[in-house]
Amino acid sequence: MPRTQVYHAVTERLEILDPEGKVDRELAPDLPPETVRRMYRDMALMRAMDDKALKLQRQGRMGTWPPIRGQEAIQAGVAHAMAEGDWLIPAFREHGIMLLRGVPAHLIYAYWAGDERGSAFPDGVRVFPVAVPVGSQWQHGAGVGLSLKLRGEPAVAVTFGGDGSTSEGDFHEAMNCAGVFGCQSVFVIQNNQWAISVPLHRQTASETLAQKAHAYGIPGIQVDGNDVFAVWVAASEALARARSGGGPTLIEALTYRIGDHTTADDASRYRPETEVAAWADRDPILRLRRYMESAGLWDESREEALTGEVHEWIDRTVVNLEEMPPQDPRDIFTHMYAELPPNLREQMAEVVAEVRT
């Protein structure tokens, strides 16, 4: 008789669009062609924003940048499933969905160029500022979801985070709270399999991250994160459940971080090129394009027109960034406290004096 039993949590896994662009007809959502083309366009904008940011950083025109290459389908799929009044609570690798939820691209750039005004979004944009302290945003997402429930607002708090952040206590506290209080929250893990140089298997002994939901009494699902349809379906179901009082959901979107952790990292020092290349072949944008071409939704002339539109948009974004007047050095201090503590007031005076001389 074995003294212990190994428990394998059964987690649902959803895949609809395969790397060749073939869809599973039984599972495929009935999306209007215009929506599918829009998803593709949105992912193309994200790719352009990412590529340009890396170039700007190399030219000394950007502070640092965490690339999102390969993770576009997660961000487009969730954004397209969200409703107008929903909230987004991002971590720091969510530029794509921040853009789609209404944060102007030049402000996203401004944040990463070290400008505090990059966190001051236009009125009505329901997006929290970037959260760099790993995992802190999960609790904000549970809290916003609870607040929406208490106010009787039919909106949902959608929180994003990385695989690495699931090792922080904050993640578990947030899931527990969300389960107990039935928060109107959807939690999305962008499992890109790396937390800087720490691989997923050093992060958890669980088979999946989604199965952690079971411990908190909430539904959990793993989706192919390079498949925009699977992400859209899982997010739509989770959002509908939260909106109608059915409580939170944890979605694990399995993908891969194609780029370095940030521009300050060199991932070739800790992971093999072959692994990166294998995942690059599963590119989410290429996959959707293959599908659209085979379904007669896309052709070369549409691609050309889109390329032109995207170039123009990204060039305008850089102009908008670089035409911002110089920032007030006091901005570094003024957004943290209602009343600045004396030591920070002193530091602020020092910085102001230095900038003036």
Active site positions, annotated: 257, 261, 270
The contact pattern for Mg ion, residues 179-218, with x = CB under 5 A and - = no contact, is -------------x--x-----------------------
Q: Min. distance of Cβ 182 from ligand TPP in angstroms?
A: 26
Considering only residues 33, 133, 245, 341, which one is a binding residue for ligand TPP as defined by CB under 6 A? 133
For residue 196, the partner it binds in Mg ion, ligand TPP, none, with Cβ less than 5 to 8 A by kind, is ligand TPP
Draw the binding track, 4-43, toward ligand TPP (x: CB under 6 A; -: no contact): ----------------------------------------
x/- mask, ligand TPP, residues 172-211, rule CB under 6 A, reads: ------------------x-x-xxx---------------
Q: Per CB under 6 A, does 90 bind ligand TPP?
A: no
Cβ neighbours around 299 below 10 Å, total: 10
Residues 109 and 316 sit within 8 Å (Cβ to Cβ): no
Residue 164 makes contact with ligand TPP by CB under 6 A: yes
| CA-to-CA separations, 6 to 2, 10, 25, 81, 353, in angstroms, rounded | 10, 12, 36, 37, 64
Q: Which is nearer to ligand TPP, 50 or 163 (CB)?
A: 163
CB 196 to Mg ion: min, Å: 8
Axis-axis angle for helices 33-58, 300-322 (nearest 10): 40
Cβ closest to Mg ion, residue 42 vs residue 163 = 163
Among 132, 280, 295, 349, binds ligand TPP (CB under 6 A): 132
In the set 70, 118, 145, 162, which binds ligand TPP (CB under 6 A)? 162
Q: What are residue 157's DSSP bridge partners? A: 87, 185
Whichever of 174 and 321 has its CB closer to ligand TPP, that residue is 174
Question: Pick from 69, 257, 282, 287: which binds ligand TPP (CB under 6 A)?
Answer: 257
Among 80, 149, 261, 290, binds ligand TPP (CB under 6 A): 261
Taking contact as CB under 5 A, which single stretch among the options 156-164, 166-174, 275-283, 307-315 is the one that binds Mg ion?
A: 156-164
Pairing of strands 87-89, 198-199: unpaired
- Contact residue for ligand TPP among 47, 52, 80, 93 (CB under 6 A): 93
Least distance from C-beta 25 to Mg ion, angstroms?
A: 33
Interface with ligand TPP, residue 264, by CB under 6 A: no
Partner that binds at residue 261, options ligand TPP, Mg ion, none, CB closer than 5 to 8 Å by kind? ligand TPP
3-state secondary structure string, the chain? CCCCCCCCCCCEEECCECCCCCECCCCCCCCCHHHHHHHHHHHHHHHHHHHHHHHHHHCCCCCCCCCCCCCHHHHHHHHHHCCCCCEEECCCCCHHHHHHCCCCHHHHHHHHCCCHHHHCCCCCCCECCCCCCCCHHHHHHHHHHHHHHHHCCCCCEEEEEECHHHHCHHHHHHHHHHHHHCCCEEEEEEECCEECCEEHHHCCCCCCCCCHHHHCCCCEEEEECCCHHHHHHHHHHHHHHHHCCCCCEEEEEECCCCCCCCCCCCHHHCCCHHHHHHHHCCCHHHHHHHHHHHCCCCCHHHHHHHHHHHHHHHHHHHHHHHCCCCCCCCHHHHCCCCCCCHHHHHHHHHHHHHHHC
Report the distance separating Cα 159 and Cα 188, nearest Å: 6
Stretch that binds ligand TPP, among 99-107, 128-136, 206-214, 316-324 (CB under 6 A): 128-136
Q: How far apart are CA 255 and CA 226, in angstroms?
A: 6
96, 118, 135, 162: which one binds Mg ion (CB under 5 A): 162
Is residue 39 involved in binding Mg ion (CB under 5 A)? no
Between residues 261 and 289, which has the closer beta carbon with respect to ligand TPP?
Answer: 261
Q: Residues in the site for Mg ion, rule: CB under 5 A? A: 162-164, 192, 195
Q: Residues in the site for ligand TPP, rule: CB under 6 A? A: 93, 132-134, 162-165, 190, 192, 194-196, 257, 261
